Chain A
Amino acid sequence: MKDEAVTREDRVASLKGMGCSRKRVEDARFTQGKGNYVDDIKLDGMLFGDFVRSPYAHAKITNIDTSAAMEVPGVLAVLTAADLAPLGLHWMPTLAGDKQMVLADGKVLFQGQEVAFVVAEDRYAAADGIEAVEVEYEELPVIVDPFEALQSDVVLRPDTVGEDGSPADGAHGPRKHHNHIFTWECGDKDPTEQVISNAEVVAEESMYYHRTHPCPLETCGCVASMDKVNGKLTLWGTFQAPHAIRTVVSLISGIEEHNIRVISPDIGGGFGNKVGAYPGYVCSVVASIVTGKPVKWIEDRMDNLMTTAFARDYWMKGRISATKDGKITGLHCHVTADHGGFDACADPTKFPAGFMNICTGSYDIPTAFLEVDGVYTNKAPGGVSYRCSFRVTEAVYFIERMIEVLAIELDMDASELRKINFIKKEQFPYKAALGWEYDSGDYHTAWDKAMKAVDYDGLRAEQKQRIEDFKAGKTRKLLGIGLTHFTEIVGAGPVKNCDILGLGMFDSCEIRIHPTGSAIARLGTISQGQGHATTFAQILASEIGLPADSITIEEGDTDTAPYGLGTYGSRSTPVAGAATAMAGRKIRAKAQMIAAYLLEVHDDDVEFDVDRFVVKGAPEKFKTMKEIAFAAYNQAIPGVEPGLEAVSYYDPPNMTYPFGAYVCVMEIDVDTGVTDIRQFYALDDCGTRINPMIIEGQIHGGLTEALAVALGQEIAYDDMGNVKTGTLMDFFLPTAWEVPNYETDHTVTPSPHHPIGAKGVGESPHVGGVPCFSNAVHDAFRAFGLRQTNMPHDHWRIWRTANELGLHD
């Protein structure tokens, strides 16, 4: 056979399966400007909708007059809450068990809130219509501080209090105050108090993880098209979870789910911004039903930053106890969480503070307690996971800062303190004090590799010299060495404890092998730049022995893709990737039967080898997967149905726990506050590596988003509730000029419960990067007495820190 000259290695390489840096199949269209994003969609007669938004953060609405707007040329309709109320659509459920106004119902709770929806022939006419809508507001007292909210007599959400003014129970139990949303407790309260009060050493610190925003380059948007002839609604949009959106639309609109088709086309970055359901989606659907025409809604950048999906805004207070020689004995964490006007956090139902209870981090901490209080304020709703799995960024920032503070308290090296307390390799699977069971890890190996790679001891010696030089007046620059060892928790998640709106967080893959040996696979996830069409084909190539180049991956169309919970929280590889492997194995199982029939041996007498089944002990007798595929469609095989297809719905038995060791070396100019990243070393362990090129790209991007958050990016409000950072003029997105080159490295500790051992990687660099950059800033000033200064560490704040420490004297 001509095949004989081809080595086994050649056959493996030709598949472009797992472990190779396969070039991306998505890139041909993107590099030629032929992507198909939602704003590229054009339909006959399509209208454009846009919002009248509140200029006030808290106000009563006494009147809305739309009559002048209706006279504006090109304006076809103006929707207000009064129009939506008869349909029951003036409010909608949030993912967090609260409800949110679709259009202002008598009052507004944050600046930029949606008040009316103007539908017009094009964007310009819609803008003219918005100008002509007259809204009368009566200003109410504004609360932008969650601690003040918990003391205030002002009731932000009258719909959540009883007739006597007492707070009604919320989705997560009793509420302490009318502006309080929930209390979530985790761990052992009394034992933790006891351990801490009897400890030899206790470090205590408060820190604010500021409000920021995922800010993908493409904003949120949709096109709704109600076909009244067939009774079918098609909704294209920037949805990170298209199936969940379909179910939500069905539940709130009453349109049967089979009559709704949701399509996520190409998405221009998500980072958590595109998980939730927004008023624009509801209004577009209603407007399409009202006008009988397709209606498009696209946010502009200010709408995006001011109204959809903030992240973080956690006030965290910690106490960590240890023995004199640095063994940690207990951890206590309290969070006051500012959720804005509505609780629209995107978390699994049973986790109102997400996976904040991963806050014991990479350390063997025997006793811990976490308490989170959610609070309403006059700020935008959201609370999404910005490039992280459900509040994991907050948790990792907390523990990695607490470790540094404890190191100061103990007068110990921060690397040494980490090494003393890492969970040891032999302790896995490790049951953490706050409930999670870490699947696998080898932290000491990763850490030692990182310390060696950066010459940690050399860096400390240089830093010591630098401090002496600074004190001697020889330099005005300090050197910060930022350390972080993070452990993530991703891949939500097991249906037994993870659901969103009652939908279990499994995921899915369906494969069809075509007669000529190529295939299409569809998944319940949706790529937003992660390169799923490239990497999922690689998983399949390795599993079923057909070349990745012969496998089309399709996602995002709910009429064709199997049900899944979408892409966020680094769940695609851990969950849908597992479903892909499992579906592939079903294909292989059937292929084995076909091969045995064709080779005239028993099923057990053939085995899989790269791209074929061979007769055991006689490798010259084989059938390639391509031959088997054809046979599946042209042979009558006794006891075997024709065709070669499989579907798998994968309910993961556990989360996956990627980890990594990061080091940031930073120069800080004490007189200007300007920072310069001299070196950034990132070692990631995401288990089995599917495509190293894509992994590295994810790490570069996640680190850059971490740099942004740590060093300048924030959604800031003034006391009146005005958003101070509503455009890219004020909201920091790093350019190529501000960003360093990163050194990437890895270890591989496969997940023992995942079919291919992969853990997910997209969010690790963000989760680990933020504390690493922040720790570098803190470390630079440690010798001068700094314990904690809040992010973002922009030049002004760093200058102020230096000033407060007396370094300008």
Chain B
Amino acid sequence: MTQKNQYKLNVNGQTVEVTAESRELLIYTLREKLNITGPHIGCETSHCGACTVTIDGKSVKSCTMFVAQAEGKEITTIEGLGGPDALHPLQEAFKEHHGLQCGYCTPGMITRATKLLEEIPNPTEEEIRFGMAGNICRCTGYQNIVKSIKAAAAEINAAKEAAQ
């Protein structure tokens, strides 16, 4: 299996070209070739969500998608959400409400939560728990993750209102 192809992707606003075998998984491309190590590998069977990224507006588990399938698509990872100068409200809220411990699930968790809050801007606890059920955390018991997402939703909604 040595046949390699060129793929063009847009990752966190940058267009990148990679050479890869058609069997190469997107998480591998991101982590090994593009040095985007925020998304993690936890299960390789789509269960844990540590590898969650956003592709063309949808939450996707990048461990079970070929890079070939991402050709021409817009990909956002945790690295694209906010940095030291301006954190995303979810990044702030997870810090503030102790929504993480070992940090391994956190990039996927926050990336998924950004989409959840776009899908449901003011979610109930039940909606958060259901909407986040594709992302596993072994440390927090989720209680503070739910709290963080609620707080971030309030923050984002308040900012939106202020802007109007």
A315 part of interface (Cβ distance < 8 Å):
no
Interface assignment of B106: CB less than 8 Å from any CB of chain A: yes
From 137 to 152 in chain B, residues with beta carbon under 8 angstroms from any chain A beta carbon are 137-146
Q: Which B29-55 residues have a C-beta within 8 angstroms of A? A: 31-32, 35-45, 47-48, 50
B17 on the A face (CB < 8 A): no
Indicate if the CB atoms of A124 and B1 lie closer than 8 Å.
Answer: yes
Chain B residues within 8 Å of A42, by CB: 35
Q: Which of B36, B45, B83, B137 contacts A217 (CB 8 A)?
A: B137
Q: Which of A259-282 contact B (CB under 8 A)?
A: 266-269, 271
Q: Is the CB of B42 within 8 A of A736?
A: no
Which of A33, A34, A727, A736 touches B39 (beta carbons < 8 Å)? Answer: A33
Contact B143 A700 (CB under 8 A): yes
Interface presence of B82 (CB below 8 A): yes
Partner of A735, one of B28, B110, B133: B133
Q: Chain B contacts of A267 at CB under 8 A?
A: 102
Report B78-116 CB contacts with A as 1/0, cut-off 8 Å: 110011100100010011101011111111001000000
Q: Check if B38 sits within 8 Å of A705, measured CB to CB.
A: no
A705 touches which one: B1, B23, B138 (CB < 8 A)?
B138
B156: chain A residues at CB < 8 Å are: none
Complex formed: what's the CA distance from A301 to B46 in Å? 11
**In the complex with contacts A124-B21, A531-B101, A701-B101, A217-B141 CB distance below 8 A:** no
**Nearest B residue to A737 by beta-carbon distance?**
B133
Q: If A215-B138, A739-B142 touch, does A733 touch B87 (CB 8 Å cutoff)?
A: no
Taking CB atoms, residues of chain A closer than 8 Å to B1 are 124, 128
Asked if B129 contacts A40 (CB within 8 A), the reply is no
Overall SS of chain B's interface = loop
Q: Is the CB of B82 within 8 A of A217?
A: no
In the complex where A122-B32, A528-B102 touch, is A33 in contact with B144 (Cβ < 8 A)? no
What is the interface size of chain B, counting residues whose CB is below 8 A from a CB of the partner?
A: 61
B133 adjacent to A736 (CB under 8 Å):
yes
A26-B103, A27-B100 known; A733+B138 contact, CB < 8 A: yes
Q: Are B141 and A30 in contact (CB under 8 A)?
A: no
* A218/B40 contact (C-beta < 8 A), A124-B24, A728-B48, A736-B146 known: yes
The listed residue (B48, B129, B138) touching A736 by CB distance below 8 A is B129
Complex CA gap A37/B32 in Å reads 14
Which residues in A have some Cβ–Cβ distance to B below 8 Å?
23-24, 26-35, 37, 39-40, 42, 73, 122-124, 128, 215-219, 266-269, 271, 298, 300-301, 528-531, 693-694, 696-705, 727-729, 733, 735-737, 739, 741-742
12 more A-B residue pairs beyond the given contacts A124-B21, A124-B23, with a C-beta to C-beta distance below 8 A:
A73-B2, A216-B102, A217-B42, A268-B40, A269-B101, A271-B138, A298-B41, A301-B44, A697-B144, A700-B141, A728-B47, A735-B133
Q: Which 9 A-B pairs have the closest CB atoms?
A: A33-B38, A529-B102, A30-B103, A268-B104, A700-B141, A33-B78, A704-B141, A529-B101, A728-B47
Q: Please, could you name 26 A-B residue pairs with CB atoms under 8 Å apart, sorted by A? A: A27-B94, A28-B95, A30-B106, A31-B94, A32-B78, A33-B38, A33-B78, A37-B40, A39-B37, A40-B37, A42-B35, A122-B32, A217-B40, A217-B104, A268-B103, A528-B102, A697-B98, A697-B141, A698-B101, A701-B138, A728-B48, A735-B133, A735-B136, A736-B137, A737-B130, A739-B142
- Residues of B near any A CB (own CB < 8 A): 1-2, 21, 23-24, 28, 31-32, 35-45, 47-48, 50, 77-79, 82-84, 87, 91, 94-96, 98, 100-107, 110, 128-130, 132-146
